[in-house]
Amino acid sequence: MKIVSLEALIIRIPRKQRGAGRLETLLARVTTDSGLTGWGESQALAAPEVAGAIIHSILKPALKGKEFGGTGLEIETLWDAMYDQMRVSGQTGGFMLDAIAAVDIALWDLAGKIHCAPIAALISGRAAKPRLATYVNYLAGDTRAERLERARTCRAAGCRRFKIFHRAGQRELLECYDALAAICGPENIAVDAQWRLDPKTAPALGAELDRRGALWLECPFPPQDVAHHAALAAHIRTPLAIGESYRTHVEMAPFFRAGAMRIVQPDLGRCGITEALRIARAAERAGMEIVPHLAPALGPLLFATLQFAAATPNCRMVPHTPGLLETAGEYSTSPVAFRNGHYTVPTAPGLGIDLAEPEVRLVEVA
């Protein structure tokens, strides 16, 4: 069969949480001459029009009319072909890769529908995991008390692990950590530093996290800083976790070589399934663990993350954001099952999601 259509749908949805603004995302839809359709999504939190224009003007001409039988090798070849379109112009990251990610996920969704199998089974067969453990990626609330109350609710629903953010000073961070530890235990908390740490004082924070047995320390320094990540990783026991800022295994290669992390966090909305698999293989060779990153999105990106995690041997957990799950359910006729702190991996063909197209189109703006 042939690819006859590639579309970009730019979506904006008001968020229900107070002060949360609106969700912006980019959907890609690939259609074949047989009528089969695949959906993908980009991590486009700002200016999704840019990635949408790249799909329309650059990627669509490269894919339209291509024969497609739904194999992993074909998708990898198409990923490389899309990447090559603008490599000579230096477009090897950023919006170009965000656009490729959405199309790549759509191609995998299409492949699963062609072969009547979920993506995880296409990649790893019977080795695919049926359930995935989680950590709570975000605790909503304007105050510490509100966030702790949210944690109690999540804990009562079976969630065991949580992530907190470095919002101000180290003292406040550790006070939040210890208050949350009373709910879930100190060994079940990860800290996201949001690139805020100073290399001179970071080891002291690392020592405090070591003492508490933290799950990991995420994004301590600016994404381009290999040396300080490597130095801190060698200095503390708490695993460093990085990866959401990078879109290819080439970008991450210096960090692998330096041993700058123990947990790798690819965001499929930025690298797609194909490149996420390449990153995961590099991590496995280095003895590192995969914990995917997942930002606010609609259903396709959530489902892609679950399928990827289920197919990846060195991935033992995925993020869980309650609001994201609810939003995905609103715009899908096949909501994902979440119970007792675990996702059940969808078993329908492809991503396992059926978008409620009329509802999605109501919020399409371009």
Residue 7 has pLDDT above 90, yes or no: yes
pLDDT band at 15 (very low <50, low <70, confident <90, very high): low
Is there a single domain that holds both residue 88 and residue 142?
no
Q: What is the CATH number of the domain that holds 141?
A: 3.20.20.120
Position 266, amino acid: P
Indicate whether 46 pLDDT > 90.
no
β-strand 289-290 against 37-42: which pairing, if any?
unpaired
Q: Do 175 and 266 fall into the same domain?
A: yes
- Summarize pLDDT for 18-38 with one digit per residue, the tens: 445 577 889 999 999 999 999
Strand ranges inside 185-333, DSSP E: 189-192, 217-218, 240-242, 263-264, 289-290, 317-320
- Looking at the structure, do residues 56 and 131 belong to the same domain, yes or no? no
CATH number at residue 12: 3.30.390.10
Q: What is the mean pLDDT of the chain?
A: 92
Confidence bin at 366 (pLDDT 50/70/90) = very low
Residues 103 and 177 in one domain: no
38 and 175 in one domain? no
- pTM, rounded to two decimals: 0.94
pLDDT (tens digit, 9 = 90+) per residue, 203-257? Answer: 999 999 999 999 999 999 999 999 999 999 999 999 999 999 999 999 999 999 9
Please indicate, yes or no, whether residues 218 and 302 belong to a single structural domain of this protein: yes
- Both 109 and 129 in one domain: the answer is no
pLDDT at 333: 83
Structural domain including 323 reads 123-350
Counting beta carbons within 10 angstroms of the beta carbon of residue 224, is it exposed (0 to 12), middle (13 to 18) or buried (19 or more)? Answer: exposed
Nearest alpha carbon to residue 226 among 194, 258, 250 = 258
pLDDT tens digits along 246-290:
999 999 999 999 999 999 999 999 999 999 999 999 999 999 999
